[in-house]
């Protein structure tokens, strides 16, 4: 059976600090199959979040190319890239990034405000996303009224409410205790197995990476299948 590759990349990424040029990613090659759950590990500062941002169209490579679903991100204008990202990428952050003045359901609705959906259609999408993460009963609570695990579930609901092509998670359990973290990892696994979501997750925790189908390690600008020593 042929495996459909969703993400392909061949990139270099460097930053300038004064007169110094810092090479973060160097001729890095990446392929992720549709429906895969990939964990990305590596030392602090190795470029894990940088790579995640490049795949999600949040940043641009210094040179090279990134292709998601047959679309070359490097060939898009900033405006085209923003529209593509709103439709195809769901983002889950370590510190949730919820707006404290909005209820859970309103936080989840935010990505839909960039679409042409009607108010009633947005409501149905929000209800579905909250049901998937098991938070229907907390929909009208504010972030301060939710536990850390519930806030992260809200963040995941917000990430999946547009039914994105790709789910990108940056240390999604990094601010949670083990029990809450396990619940979030179980939810991500369910999204992958039951809904076929393609997931790329940055983590430093081997306990978290063990939930993925495949683990990649980033070191000195290159990807490897072996842990960094």
Q: Where are the beta strands (DSSP E) in 73-213?
A: 89-92, 166-170, 198-202
pLDDT in tens, 131-188: 999 999 999 999 999 999 999 999 999 999 999 999 999 999 998 999 999 999 999 9
Q: For residue 229, what pLDDT is reported?
A: 66
Q: For residue 1, what pLDDT is reported?
A: 41
Contact 157, 133 (CB under 8 A): yes
Q: For residue 35, what pLDDT is reported?
A: 96
CA distance 89 to 159: 8
Q: Rounded to two decimals, what is the model's pTM?
A: 0.92
Q: For residue 21, what pLDDT is reported?
A: 86
Q: For the chain, which ranges sit under pLDDT 50?
A: 1-2
Q: For residue 222, what pLDDT is reported?
A: 87
Q: For residue 219, what pLDDT is reported?
A: 87
Domain spans of the chain?
A: 5-97+164-224
CA distance 133 to 158: 10
CATH H-level superfamily of 5-97+164-224 = P-loop containing nucleotide triphosphate hydrolases (3.40.50.300)
Burial class (CB in 10 A: 0-12, 13-18, 19+), 133: buried
Q: For residue 155, what pLDDT is reported?
A: 96
Q: For residue 16, what pLDDT is reported?
A: 85
Contact 98, 143 (CB under 8 A): yes
């Amino acid at each position: 059976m042929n495996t459909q590759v969703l993400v392909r990349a061949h990139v270099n990424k460097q930053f300038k600090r004064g007169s110094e040029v810092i090479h973060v990613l160097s001729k890095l090659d990446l392929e992720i199959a549709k429906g895969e759950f990939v964990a990305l590990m590596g030392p602090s500062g190795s470029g894990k979040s940088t790579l995640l941002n490049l795949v999600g169209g949040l940043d641009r490579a210094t040179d090279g190319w990134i292709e998601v679903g047959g679309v070359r991100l490097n060939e898009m204008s900033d405006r085209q890239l923003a529209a593509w990202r709103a439709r195809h990428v769901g983002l889950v952050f370590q510190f949730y990034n919820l707006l404290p003045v909005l209820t859970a359901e309103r936080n989840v609705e935010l990505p839909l405000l960039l679409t042409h959906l009607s108010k009633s259609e947005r409501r149905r999408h929000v209800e579905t996303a909250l049901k998937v993460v098991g938070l229907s009963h907390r929909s009208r609570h504010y972030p301060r009224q939710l536990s850390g695990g519930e806030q992260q579930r809200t963040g995941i609901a917000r990430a999946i409410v547009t039914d994105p092509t790709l789910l990108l998670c940056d240390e999604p359990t990094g601010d949670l205790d083990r029990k809450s973290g396990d619940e979030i990892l179980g939810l991500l696994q369910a999204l992958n197995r039951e809904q076929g979501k393609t997931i790329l997750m940055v983590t430093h925790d081997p306990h978290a990476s063990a939930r993925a189908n495949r683990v990649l390690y980033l070191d000195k600008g290159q990807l490897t299948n072996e842990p960094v020593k």
